[in-house]
Chain A
């Protein structure tokens, strides 16, 4: 059995005598069920994160011999559910080109956020087995050195239309609508996305995150940000693949407001 595209995130029945292999080049993740244990091994994600994502079963003879196998005890034999989840920290996105939003203008961008791999048991009471990033993102700091926060940093293409966004099982697309409701220009150089507040939705060919509506009211005022709950309306029949790590409560929203004051400073 071989799966490609977003179907790599389908539920898998491991069985007892075979090894499941998810390939997200350069990372490969191997999982097998041995007695009451899940045995897990992943290759380090060194190199460029590119190439087709796929899932396949391999024979036990083909599995890598390594001391890096990890063992997780779980007595129930049930299928496993891989899920794409967003990173555990905010992501500072640097667009590949500097763009200035003139006063009164609005724009819609599609930002690409690399997802993490989470494996849980399937069923009504899922248990998380493990999760890990598919690509290693660099660390960066957003805000001033005393009150800022640790984030992941990444450069991304600033897509203004969905057609230019490639189909990928390892990237979640976050629609970001920005309105410049101020009298000043908004230099669009760096955005801090609170990825831990966003859910992932699965479509036919792409993964999506919640839509964000941002209203910039000038550098002296806090920028308003709204997380639109539910799947974004750019693809039909989207289903939730993974919930937000920290659902955006009142506290999170206030924190986001605070952080987004810096939005205007960059």
Chain B
């Protein structure tokens, strides 16, 4: 009770002018913020409904930031602050702040380049260095990523601009390369036809483009085979899990052997031994 009576006494001590100004400032803030929020939501829901999530986000942020700036200027004007003098001072302060925050400015400029170049969009899966995840937002200073093990990663825009970025989901279909090693002595024609069958029977592998089967190299443990299967980007996990299983099961059923590291040792004083 004492607190409220203290507040009441403070209000009574204010002159009517100050009270009116305070009310007008309060009203400007409340109404201004409400209008900015309303405009941002309406823009997102109606005008930008058919646009990409990234453009929606940029439009929403542009409206919000501009709106907040206008509200701030209106409040300062209401409080009697001369905006021309403030803007002049802001120029000097800006130079000082610019020197002090070169990294941030670099990030902002990088962000503008990223927004205009559009190497990825919100919702894309990208890989930067060792980080792979889904883009949550692209902001002026950084992009935010959610990794597949549900970690939040913030990557500064400057780093993205100078790094190699792989957009995994840019195109609708991809090729999964499975490297196999087939033991020496196996019938490679049989291996080829078996891999073709495996690809055709797998429900996640596309018929077209045709799978790639390439005998790439003679390795220490066997002949290396590249088995490339095309798939739609949503089927990655299903194909990855099933194809390894399919290859293992079918190779075992057909009696085909995988290559594994092995070495033949010949003992020199063994009379029956041949070199090898």
Contact = CB atoms under 8 A, between A and B. Distances in A.
Among B200, B203, B207, B232, the one with the most A-chain Cβ atoms within 10 Å of its Cβ is B207
B120 interface: no
A90 to B, nearest CB: 13
Interface in B203-226: 203-209
B256 interface: no
A145 B208 contact: no
Interface string B225-265: 00000101000000000000000000000000000000000
A139 B209 CA distance: 11
B232 A145 contact: no
B203 A136 contact: yes
A150 B232 contact: yes
B171 interface: yes
A95 to B, nearest CB: 15
Nearest to A136: B203
Instruction: Name A's interface SS.
Output: strand
Contacts of B200: 138
Contacts of A141: 173, 206-209, 230
A138 B207 CA distance: 7
A92 B208 CA distance: 10
Among A92, A139, A141, A150, the one with the most B-chain Cβ atoms within 10 Å of its Cβ is A139
B272 interface: no
Interface size class of B (residues with CB under 8 A): 10 to 19
Contacts of A146: 171-172
A61 B17 CA distance: 88
A139 B172 contact: no
A138 B172 CA distance: 17
A222 to B, nearest CB: 21
A153 B200 CA distance: 11
B142 to A, nearest CB: 29
A140 B172 CA distance: 12
B110 to A, nearest CB: 27
Among B204, B205, B208, B232, the one with the most A-chain Cβ atoms within 10 Å of its Cβ is B208
A139 B171 contact: no
A255 to B, nearest CB: 15
Interface string B155-188: 0000000000000000111000000000000000
A117 interface: no
A148 B207 CA distance: 14
Instruction: Name B's interface SS.
Output: loop
Interface size class of A (residues with CB under 8 A): 10 to 19
Interface in A118-169: 136, 138-142, 145-146, 148, 150, 153
A141 B207 CA distance: 7
A140 B206 contact: yes
A153 B232 CA distance: 14
A145 B209 contact: yes
Contacts of B204: 139
A188 to B, nearest CB: 17
Contacts of A92: 207-208
B212 to A, nearest CB: 13
B203 A138 contact: yes
B50 to A, nearest CB: 14
Interface in B128-144: none
A153 B207 contact: yes
A145 B206 contact: no
A141 to B, nearest CB: 5
A98 to B, nearest CB: 16
Contacts of B203: 136, 138-139
Among A92, A136, A140, A142, the one with the most B-chain Cβ atoms within 10 Å of its Cβ is A140
14 contacts: A92-B208, A138-B207, A139-B205, A139-B206, A139-B207, A139-B232, A140-B208, A141-B208, A141-B230, A142-B208, A145-B173, A146-B172, A150-B172, A150-B232
The 6 A-B pairs at the shortest CB distance, nearest first, are namely A140-B207, A153-B207, A140-B208, A138-B207, A141-B206, A141-B208
Interface of B: 171-173, 200, 203-209, 230, 232
Given A139-B206, A139-B232, 13 more contacts: A138-B200, A138-B203, A138-B207, A139-B203, A140-B206, A141-B206, A141-B209, A142-B208, A145-B171, A145-B172, A145-B209, A148-B172, A148-B173
Interface of A: 92, 136, 138-142, 145-146, 148, 150, 153
